[in-house]
Amino acid sequence: MPSRVHQFYAVAFEENFSLRQIAPAFPEARISALELFVPIEPDGGLYVFPFGAIVSHDVPVEHRERLFARLTRAMPKLTTRIIREDYSVLEDPAAPIGISGGMLRVDKLTPQRAEIVALTVAQSAAMEYYERIVDSLFARTSQLVDRMASHGTVPYRITPLHRFIGEAISSRTEVLAVLHLLDKPDAAWEDPAMDLIYDDLRDEFDLVDRYAALTSKLQSIQDSLVLVLDVARDRRLVLLEVVVVLLILLEIILGVIHFTA
């Protein structure tokens, strides 16, 4: 069998997917709890993952766009903000399994191995989406901390701060939920070669280190927001105490005026 290069193309969306909601748009698909798979002749396919990523394998651009359009019709409110990622796999009977020249090389790309490649590329695209969210939160948090460092305090209005903290908590929960993305797929346990493929791909896309960086940034954001919120509350408490003192003084003054009148 001659060598062949397989193309995987991933798109990660802002929304998560309900596979049961999408399934009617792809009646030819095979669906499980972990993915929806649409076979594409002669030996390609489309993978839809519930964490908001889809991956095409050896699907021409025109056909791929038609498949994406079916997904859009099934989810009309699907965001246009997406992350794209592609990856190539060289299938060569004489090649040892491993990464070389930024490309995975396998002796044979079975459907099970193709599924592992698709899953890993999807994970990487989803991870990039979360990295952008966390980087944005980190930058906004840094602005709050810098303001506190330069002015020694925070604004009196804490409602926007509460909204931002709510957004950060929601994002943190969503990012931590991707932990299951790093779980080894069942197919990798069944075949030592697929286990090696998965480990190589995970290292190639640096998934573990990227996840560790995400959680570290989220922890830093959380710690900073707790500090900022404490300062904001202390400032409002001081203001409240001043108001109470002024009201007491006003009451005393009014009492003196009434007494001397």
pLDDT confidence bin for 89, thresholds 50/70/90? very high
pLDDT above 90 for 147: no
- Chain centroid to CA 73: 23
Contact at 8 Å (CB) between 186 and 33?
A: no
| Same domain membership, residue 73 and residue 164 | no
Contacts of 88 (CB under 8 A, 6+ apart): 5, 6, 7, 8, 103, 104
Contact at 8 Å (CB) between 21 and 74?
A: yes
| Conformation bin of residue 102: beta by default, left when phi > 0, alpha when psi is -120 to 50 | left
260 or 56, greater pLDDT: 56
| Same domain membership, residue 210 and residue 142 | yes
pLDDT value of position 97: 86
CATH, residue 91 = 3.30.310
| Same domain membership, residue 98 and residue 130 | no
pLDDT value of position 57: 96
| Same domain membership, residue 223 and residue 191 | yes
Instruction: Provide the number of structural domains found in the chain.
Output: 2
pLDDT value of position 36: 93
In a domain, residue 149? The reply is yes
In a domain, residue 117? The reply is no
The whole-chain average pLDDT of the chain stands at: 81
Phi, psi of 33 (to 5 degrees): -70, -20
| Same domain membership, residue 249 and residue 143 | yes
Q: What is the CA radius of gyration of the chain?
A: 27
What range defines the domain where residue 98 resides? 4-108
| Same domain membership, residue 152 and residue 82 | no
| Among the listed residues 34, 38, 208, the one whose alpha carbon sits nearest the alpha carbon of residue 124 | 208
pLDDT tens sequence across 38-87: 999 888 999 999 888 999 999 999 999 899 889 988 888 887 778 899 99
pLDDT value of position 151: 66
| Conformation bin of residue 118: beta by default, left when phi > 0, alpha when psi is -120 to 50 | alpha
| Same domain membership, residue 254 and residue 135 | yes
6 or 33, greater pLDDT: 6
Global pTM? 0.76
pLDDT tens sequence across 192-211: 778 888 888 888 888 888 88
Contact at 8 Å (CB) between 162 and 233?
A: no
pLDDT value of position 7: 95
Spatial separation of the C-alpha atoms in residues 258 and 204, rounded to whole Å: 83
In a domain, residue 114? The reply is no
